[in-house]
Structure 1
Amino acid sequence: MITYAILGGNEEAVGEVKGALQNYPDYLLLGDAISNNEAYEVILKNPPNLVFVDFDSYSSADIPLNFIAELHQYLPELPSFIGVSGKKGFAYEALKNGFVDYLLKPLAPVEVVKTLVKYRRNNNKSETRKICLKSYSDYHFLDLSEVIYMQADNNNTDFHLSSIYKVPGFKTLKYYEELLPENFVRIHNSYVINTEKVTRINFGKNKVYLHSNIKLPFSKSYKKNVEMVKSKLTADNIISPD
């Protein structure tokens, strides 16, 4: 679960950010704030992973960059900050002050996805590595370290935790692939594997072998991905082939 807060919390700003994230059930809004005092309460009480700063909610003199700098006094690790604005004028200030990204309004879905992917790629080590699979009012919180591979099932995705146990996800394989940590790699139109579960790769048979006696085919179009997995796993071994 990734938590976030919004600074510049007028109704319009909150609504736009919440709307952009409504299709991502593993993102949870902790609160919003317009003043620095409110922001301290929201961020220090339960520090979020991400903070969206709506620059349009402030006058140029009131943008809370000093407030963000002061958070170093209270938090051992700062959240990641993302700027949001209807104009490009604040982008330089935002990036100069360590913001991970800057989004222009209206928030385009593809740009939001890119930002979320960038955040996850840069924070794999610190995130909880869980994913929330939601179906109507049913929420399934799945530990990604237990996932061996994912398989496309029409417009849905099955998360396989063993050779006999799977958990359904109600989004496409591509949707999940874009959000998962870098150890999840696509090897076929139908399969994304957890490379931490790979036990063998046979290039002659175009097969990848995983824990629980699972073997999956990889396609020619994704052979480069499998080559990269092989190189990474070989480099990680204490003893590797010549």
Structure 2
Amino acid sequence: MNPNPPAPLKVIIVEDLPSFQENAEKLLAQQPGFTLIGTCATVRESLALIKATKPDLLLLDIRLPDGNGFTILEKMLPFQCKVIFLTCYEEYAVRAFRYGAIDFLLKPLDEDEFKEALQKVNNVQPLLQEQLNVTLDSYLESKQLDYIVLRSQQSSQKVYFKDICYLQSDDCYTNFFLNNGMKEVISKPLKYYEEILPDSFLRIHQSYLVNKIYIRRYYSKEGSLHLKDGTQLPVSVRRKNLVHRFFKFW
């Protein structure tokens, strides 16, 4: 037995609706390694409590009576704690978080998803200013951007769609192959990125998503797609019609 077990992570819940706040408190109490040090319902209350207690983790609602969760984060710079957003399903919110590589949970909270998110907290770094900027650009202006943040355990970087040649699935990971020859390995499945990347990306195989601007030639008989840098990728039988359609209107 470890004689000096790590201290539990201090958590603040920022949520203005009592039912959702109680739900989050109940689920948090079931998770070892975390202790609730306070709850808040407004931006003003949250900033005061965060300053006084210096939490390790915020469970942060977007919409609050006197502002939103982004306001809290902007006033916390530089970030000293980790953040998981809580939100009702909104197209712009979900897309914004994914663009910024910010963890979020949909309300009402699912027990398994909540548990999984907390289990990952120890391996996640505090937010970067760039992540917040990307998320704010997408959410507050309700627009689709031309870049996303790719976040691994080692680093985070802003990547423009035009610089992504193709993506390759690797179980629960996705390999990003960039036009500078670099490869980034991200712990999200390919399906995750297929849902948020624009129509300029074509799914040609269960394991591949390709940026159309890098396609050079398609060999239908052998089911092979050649990219401008010489890379050859397989086209699955069920995706051949999509590839044919792309070349028809190319």
TM-score (norm: length of structure 1): 0.47
TM-score (norm: length of structure 2): 0.46
